[in-house]
Amino acid sequence: MSSHPAALVRSLPATAVAALALCAAALAAPLDVQLGFSSLPSAQGFAYVASGAHAGVPEASVFSVAGGVLTQNSMGQSNGVSGGSMLYQFTGGITTTESKQIRVRARCLAAEGSANATLGQGGFIFGFATGSVQYDFGLTPTRMFYLQPSGTVLVAATFDNTQFHDYIFEFTPPTSWRIYRDGVLVQSGSGGFAVAVNRVFLGDGTGGANASGEITAFRFIQNVATPAQATTWGRVKGLYR
């Protein structure tokens, strides 16, 4: 894959990182949101949202953190109804014009499907929405999937996703994207699904499937090709992959 310089802020929580990024909006809207794994995302500036078929489900029933691992277990929750989610979201600042990356280290241990999501697609996802279009990708134990105008689409190949792997979802404006698994391109395309929200998110994205998964790294970067100024960000250095 191509190399991209990016701003890396190691010492700040997601809330502080995003706040500094928004202050730098004049510099092509850089944004760098990272999660730590000694506390839940809800303690780091993300909001837990349970909606639709999952409305009212407590955070502690689905998510936990221990030993540097964020665990999602939505198995046994309501399924079969496509509308619904149990996820974390960080809202605001997502543009339509800047390049973006989601970098994740994760594994999916189990999935529970339904008539509309027979392999459990949609139950363990990572994505962002620009205010009008949502883009995401996700895992089942053996498959990967991505979002299109028609809904969730499965990658044709099969994988062993029960072990930890590194995933990158790379977005190039206006609508193109690529998905990498351990540095290998597995899918490319364009377009997403119409959603009127502006956010970065991760978790169970549908009422039509459930999943058990673990995450040890999560980072969203916007405008990865333009390092932020050190006078604005503080402890910043260039990261080249």
Q: Within a domain: residue 33?
A: no
Q: Within a domain: residue 234?
A: no
* Residue-number span of the structural domain to which 207 is assigned: 48-217
pTM over 0.95: no
CATH at residue 129: 2.60.120.200
Q: Within a domain: residue 5?
A: no
Question: Please, which residues bridge with residue 181 across strands?
Answer: 167, 184
Q: Within a domain: residue 10?
A: no
Q: Count of domains in the chain?
A: 1
pLDDT at 210 over 80: yes
Q: Within a domain: residue 23?
A: no
pLDDT at 240 over 70: no
Q: What is the mean pLDDT of the chain?
A: 84
pLDDT per residue as tens digits for the range 67-102: 999 999 999 998 877 688 999 999 999 999 999 999
Q: Within a domain: residue 116?
A: yes
Higher pLDDT pick, 210 / 79: 210
DSSP labels for 52-79? ETTTT--GGGTEEEETTEEEEE-TTS--
**Torsion from C-alpha of 233, 25, 147, 51, nearest 10 degrees:** 90
pLDDT per residue as tens digits for the range 25-66: 444 588 999 999 999 999 999 999 998 889 899 999 999 999
Q: Within a domain: residue 162?
A: yes
Please tell me what DSSP assigns to residue 62: T
Q: Within a domain: residue 210?
A: yes
